[in-house]
């Protein structure tokens, strides 16, 4: 009795089906990976928010002042060296991979992927007390420095500790 083997046509059909399934699953997997990076980025902001609340408790309700993270006058302001955080990686958004700054990512250039909103309701943030913030839930304390997440929008950290995303810049 002869063994029945796959013909070349059957083998090509199987390879074609596997290729088709892989091609169909790739966009789904890439969207899932992008969402995962965005969620991790939001979690980093949440952890920074917890540290900011610790600072506020230690300093009689005052928010930390900002420090310039670059050398130029138009470089962003952030707080990596003011708030007590053990892991500096928390200031790096996993989606911050685009080398747009002299062949560097935003994080590798500035040491953070987030910007500190230095003007809170048209007042310098270092003179704002948490207890007098009042009805300012719409004004973020920190946000993604760039649109790292594309169509998924930016992450925003608010003074009550929540992190949300928006498709447009909402800094007031």
User: Whole-angstrom Cα distance, residue 6 to residue 111?
Assistant: 57
For residue 109, tell me if it sits in a domain.
Answer: yes
What pLDDT shows up at residue 95?
A: 86
Range of the domain at 157: 33-166
Cβ atoms within 10 Å, residue 135: 6
For residue 27, tell me if it sits in a domain.
Answer: no
The pLDDT tens digits for 52-65 are 888 888 888 777 77
User: Whole-angstrom Cα distance, residue 49 to residue 43?
Assistant: 10
Which run of H or E residues covers position 166?
strand 163-166
For residue 39, tell me if it sits in a domain.
Answer: yes
* pTM score of the predicted model: 0.71
For residue 18, tell me if it sits in a domain.
Answer: no
Count how many domains the chain has: 1
In terms of C-beta distances under 8 Å and separation of at least 24 residues, what long-range contacts does 99-102 make, across chains too?
100/146
What pLDDT shows up at residue 18?
A: 93
For residue 26, tell me if it sits in a domain.
Answer: no
The pLDDT tens digits for 122-142 are 555 556 566 555 555 667 888
The segments of the chain whose pLDDT lies below 70 read 1-3, 66-85, 100-101, 118-138, 167-172
For residue 140, tell me if it sits in a domain.
Answer: yes
| 44 CB-near residues (< 8 Å, 6+ apart) | 90, 91, 92, 93, 113, 114
């Amino acid at each position: 009795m002869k063994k029945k083997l796959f013909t070349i046509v059957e083998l090509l059909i199987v390879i074609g089906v596997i290729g088709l399934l892989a091609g169909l699953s790739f966009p789904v997997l890439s969207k899932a990976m992008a969402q995962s990076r965005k969620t991790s980025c939001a979690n980093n902001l949440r952890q920074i928010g917890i540290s900011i609340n610790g600072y506020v408790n230690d300093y009689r309700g005052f928010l930390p002042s900002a420090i310039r993270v670059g050398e130029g006058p138009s470089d962003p302001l952030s707080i990596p060296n003011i708030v007590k955080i053990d892991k500096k990686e928390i200031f790096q958004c996993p989606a911050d991979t685009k080398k747009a700054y002299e062949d560097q990512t935003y994080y590798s250039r500035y040491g953070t992927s987030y910007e500190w909103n230095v003007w809170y309701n048209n007042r310098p943030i270092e003179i704002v007390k948490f207890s007098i913030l009042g009805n300012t839930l719409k004004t973020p304390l920190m946000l993604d420095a760039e649109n790292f997440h594309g169509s998924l929008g930016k992450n925003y950290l608010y003074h009550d500790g929540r992190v949300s995303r928006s498709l447009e810049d909402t800094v007031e």
